[in-house]
Amino acid sequence: MAERIARVVREEPRRSFGFLIGVAALLAATVVLVIGLSGTPGAAARGRSAQRAGARTAALSQSQISANVDHLLGEMTVAEKFGQLEQAGPGTPTGSDLIPLAEQGKIGSVLDLTGVDNINAVQQAAVNNSRLHIPLIFGLDVIHGYRTMFPVPLGEASSWDPALISTDESVSADEASADGIKWTFNPMVDISRDPRWGRVVEGAGEDPFLGSAIAAAKVTGYQGSDFSAPDRLAATIKHFGGYGAPVAGREYNTVDMSTQQLFNDYLPPYKAAVDAGAATVMSSFNSLNGVPNTANPYLLTTILRDEWGFGGATISDYQAVQELEAFGYASDGADAARLALTAGENIEMAVQIGATAGQPVYSTYEQYGPQLLKEGKITMTQLNDAVRHVLTLKYLAGMFSNPYQGSDARVASSELSPAHVSAARQMADESMVLLKNSGGALPLSPSTANIAVVGPLADDALNQLGPDVPIGYDTNAADLKSTDKIVTVADGIKAADPSATVTTVNGCTTFTVDDPCNETGGFGAAVAAAQAADVTVVVVGEPSGMSGEASSRTSLDLPGQQLALIQQIAATGKPYVVVLMNGRPLTIPWLANNAPALLEAWYPGTEGGDAVADVLFGKVNPSGKLPMSFPVNVGQVPVSYNELPTGRPYDPTSKWNSRYLDAPNPPQYPFGYGLSYTTFGFSNLSAPTSVSSTGTFHVTADVTNTGSVAGTDVVQLYLHESDTSILQPVKKLEGFQRVALAPGQSKTVTFTLGPQNLGYYNDQGQFVVQPGPFDLWVGDSSAGVGLNSPGLHTTFTLS
Ligand code: BGC
């Protein structure tokens, strides 16, 4: 892929709160007000002043927005129209190179520019100096935090708590919008069953039902009920579609799948997010069944617009329109522009406009669009439709009425506010998954005298944020703990047990993607610390750069010599527990068989160390459940609980069935699995024996805390239908609830099910509800209860 020309600002120093720029922004706001009130330029401006009088754009009805957009379209030149479809990133740290483009109306939106002063200066150029005074909208990957960093999305998904996830996104929206960002390229709602693919860290795992609940919650969290509110963002669902199933788990690779698999497994979170009102949709880099998604009319028009009624804007992925040539799908840049635009791609992302000779040209719409129009290869209606979506987005985002939504004052009051930091801790607490705990290894006594905290991630503030730290985040080593307030595991343990002697030893000389603890020279100090301690907390995992975009792996083992480090600590015979930080399910059979306790912390964010300590010392009883299966070995991949049945179901005692010779079929740890410091029992499952294809019905079950400490369980309901025209998964999640229980307490959990839970998409992509016999299970993992018990089971018939 081409160089990311816009990414040079990653090391940008943090914003300055300069008086002069603040005054400039104020003046700019005044100027736009005057322009609006003076009636220039025409009805669009009158619309703007009307909005101002009525506070926010939302005061405008759909038809008023439509009328304003139509009027603007009537005034725009062809070049200005194509300009609105281009999205550029800054080539200089302040974005000064964007100013002439904004003034000339050559861009409609900006990505990757941060800092409210920078943003307001570029906005001012568009609003004051462009011919039609159309504001820009500023977008960024705000994935799991802006300044207050939450656990990575796969970690958030482990909470199975959509309401809390929604809160996280509203915190991110508040912080990012304070800084002038108005549009996030998130949530990533791609389902994946292949942990080789590095981007599983950005999503909600392998299941469409859980993924849909989380997708909708994220959209609502970012947007609220009206994303013109200054503290909200427009959301983007990405990457449409099937992006999570690249062949061999290799990033950007081909996706080839049946219609029914696409509709049943990969599209539901998109549909849920569209129904929740997502403002924009980003197409994916991959091809789907032979057609690159950047120019895929079946996805971008037939499914998205015609079937789902999506009314927002679509956007390509980074320079992906140009890449249609590299696919060999478009013959040249002009053809790429034609194919993308006519397929339904509204905005071209990450363009380079006015490139000097010899540099690649990514702005295919702006470069070739006018000629394509002249030649009749695209129509004015197609162009106007695309521009209409962009202008409407800006109206809905309140950009016309309030183009300067960020401010230094908002930045100062929102970033890392106590409420935001406490939300990050709560989510980190809920995202921890206790994978193993033998012999009461955990929780640790809060009065343990000597604790060794060992391993490359024991005290690594930056890595614990994961791979998606937003552009503009202060990554200076000296600022991570002070300015960014990141709490590492070592810090968290010290704070939780202040009277303990805590010895922190990294053990690994380096911990990078290229050298992820390959040297064992530092192990001696780590082992000595373990020898001297009452207990050792070993914190291992992946350097954060090993997951995320362009980070596929063929091995899912702990990288480098980290397992050897743990084995040396184990050989001391002293107590130890293992904390994992990683962005994907790993293959950890030795740990599963030998470690006394295993806590999956993912990359837990700003408050990660406090949250790990909360769980280690039992202040918080872990309640996270895996959103994605942990395979035994990489040969099992892709692996998920919701596979289709075979004619020769798994039987490890005989040969001629669907199995491996050298490994079991079940994963090490299945979807939905996670332990607690207490135990839960299930009883009294009740469901009707026969249900109809219309209307709803209830399933109830009792869950009891059978242990001696309070805890929260995630009660899960699974279904399977037999005798269908197209095979249905052996199990599929159709309900879940978090239930908090005091010791000995029971609660009755009620699930309400209806046709949407019973039906499936057929090979034409049509949703059908087909009569037949159903199995129903209730438990707290896809394996029933825990790892092996079947859970409660009943059957019913759909007639
Ligand atoms: C990623 C997108 C992201 C975009 C802008 C692309 O490379 O695939 O997920 O939103 O860059 O940063």
Atom in ligand 1 nearest the alpha carbon of residue 350: 5
pLDDT for 189: 98
Q: Kindly state if the Cβ of 238 falls inside 6 Å of ligand 1.
A: yes
Q: Whose CA is nearest to atom 11 of ligand 1?
A: 318
Q: E strands, 463-517, where?
A: 501-505
CA distance 733 to 207: 8
Q: Tell me, rounded to whole angstroms, the distance of Cα 572 from its chain centroid.
A: 40
Tell whether the model's pLDDT for residue 262 goes beyond 80. Answer: yes
- Ligand 1, residue 236: give the atom nearest the CA: 10
**Helix residue ranges per DSSP H, 562-680:** 562-571, 589-594, 608-616
| % of the chain residues with pLDDT over 70 | 92
pLDDT digits (tens, 9 = 90+) for 509-543: 999 999 999 999 999 999 999 999 999 999 999 99
pLDDT at 63: 95
Q: Is 179 a catalytic residue?
A: no
Mean pLDDT confidence for 630-637: 98
The stretches of 312-434 forming alpha helices (DSSP H) are 323-327, 333-343, 364-374, 380-396, 408-414, 418-431
End-to-end CA distance of the chain: 53
Q: What is the Cβ-side half-sphere exposure of residue 34, based on CA atoms within 13 angstroms? A: 7
Q: Is the pLDDT of residue 44 over 80?
A: no
Which residue did the predictor score with more confidence, 10 or 273? 273
- Round to whole Å and give the CA distance between 640 and 626: 11
Ligand 1 neighbour 185 (Cβ under 6 A): yes
Summarize the confidence of residues 246-266 as an average pLDDT.
Answer: 98
E strand map for 487-573: 501-505, 535-541
Name the DSSP letter for residue 648: S
Q: What is the average pLDDT across 494-502?
A: 97
pLDDT category, 356, cuts 50, 70, 90? Answer: low
Q: What pTM, to 2 d.p., does this model score?
A: 0.93
State the pLDDT at residue 81: 98
At 212-248, the pLDDT tens digits run: 999 999 999 999 999 999 999 999 999 999 999 999 9
Q: What is the pLDDT of residue 56?
A: 45
User: Taking the C-alpha atoms of 19, 23, 28 and 29 in order, what is their torsion angle to the nearest 10 degrees?
Assistant: 110
Residue 186, pLDDT score: 98
pLDDT (tens digit per residue) in 280-319: 999 999 999 999 999 999 999 999 999 999 999 999 999 9
> Residue 355: what pLDDT?
62
Counting from 1 in the atom list of ligand 1, the atom nearest the Cα of 4 is 7
Whether 772 has a pLDDT exceeding 50, the answer reads: yes
- Taking only the tens place, the pLDDT of each residue in 169-212 is 999 999 999 999 999 999 999 999 999 999 999 999 999 999 99
Question: What average pLDDT score do residues 735-747 get?
Answer: 98
Residue 5: DSSP 8-state: G
- Is the shortest distance between the CB of 199 and ligand 1 below 6 Å? no
Distance CA 664, CA 659 (A): 7
- Residue 785: the pLDDT is 82
For residue 782 the two structure tokens come to 């896809």
Atom of ligand 1 nearest to the CA of 284: 8
pLDDT attached to residue 150: 98
From the list 712, 280, 623, the residue with the least C-alpha distance to 428 is 623
Contacts of 560 (CB under 8 A, 6+ apart): 508, 511, 515, 516, 517, 518
Question: How far, in Å, CA of 354 to CA of 371, rounded?
Answer: 17
Cα–Cα distance measured from residue 282 to residue 294, given in angstroms and rounded to the nearest whole number: 9
CA distances from 797 to 45, 643, 729, 784 (A): 61, 22, 17, 21
Contacts for 706 with CB less than 8 Å, ≥ 6 apart? 678, 679, 680, 681, 744
Could you tell me if 157 and 192 are in contact, meaning their C-beta atoms sit under 8 angstroms apart? no
pLDDT computed for residue 26 by the predictor: 34
Answer whether 347's CB lies under 8 Å from 108's CB: yes
Top pLDDT among 341 and 33 is at 341
Query: Residue 188 Cα, ligand 1 centroid: separation in angstroms?
Result: 10
How far apart CA 798 and CA 789 sit, in angstroms, is 27
Instruction: Return the pLDDT at 790.
Output: 79
Q: Name the token pair of 172.
A: 């991110």
Average pLDDT over residues 353-366: 73
Q: How much is the pLDDT for 30? A: 32
Question: 162-178 vs 418-431: helix axis angle to the nearest 10?
Answer: 140
Residue nearest to atom 4 of ligand 1 (CA): 318
The single residue of 317, 484, 610, 780 carrying the catalytic annotation is 317
Query: Which of 318, 348, 471, 547 to mutate to test ligand 1, by most ligand atoms within 8 A of the CB atom?
Result: 318
Contact 649, 679 (CB under 8 A): no
Mean pLDDT, the chain, whole residue set: 92
Query: What was the pLDDT predicted at 787?
Result: 75
Task: Name the residue with the closest Cα to ligand 1, atom 7.
Answer: 318
- Would you tell me the crossing angle of helices 562-571 and 523-532 to the nearest 10 degrees? 30
Mean pLDDT of 418-439: 98
Reply yes or no on whether the pLDDT at 670 is more than 70. yes
- pLDDT the model gives residue 20: 27
What pLDDT sits at residue 786? 76
Q: How far apart are CA 724 and CA 618, in angstroms?
A: 47
d(CA 430, CA 620): 9
Query: How far apart are the C-alpha atoms of 44 and 73, rounded to whole Å?
Result: 10
Query: What DSSP character marks residue 468?
Result: -
Query: Measured between alpha carbons, how far is 300 from 321 in angstroms, rounded to an integer?
Result: 14
For residue 773, the CA-to-ligand 1 centroid distance in Å is 44
pLDDT (mean) for 7-23: 29
pLDDT band at residue 359 using 50, 70 and 90 as cut-offs: low
pLDDT digits (tens, 9 = 90+) for 380-426: 999 999 999 999 999 999 999 999 999 999 999 999 999 999 999 99
Query: What confidence tens digit (pLDDT) does each residue in 456-491 have?
Result: 999 999 999 999 999 999 999 999 999 999 999 999
Which residue has its alpha carbon closest to ligand 1 atom 8? 317
Residue with tokens 């469901």: 687
Instruction: Report which secondary-structure segment, H or E, holds 794.
Output: strand 792-798
Residue 38 has pLDDT above 90, yes or no: no
Task: Say which residue the tokens 């743990």 belong to.
Answer: 566
| Cα gap 643→620, rounded to integer Å | 34
The DSSP secondary-structure symbol of 294 reads G
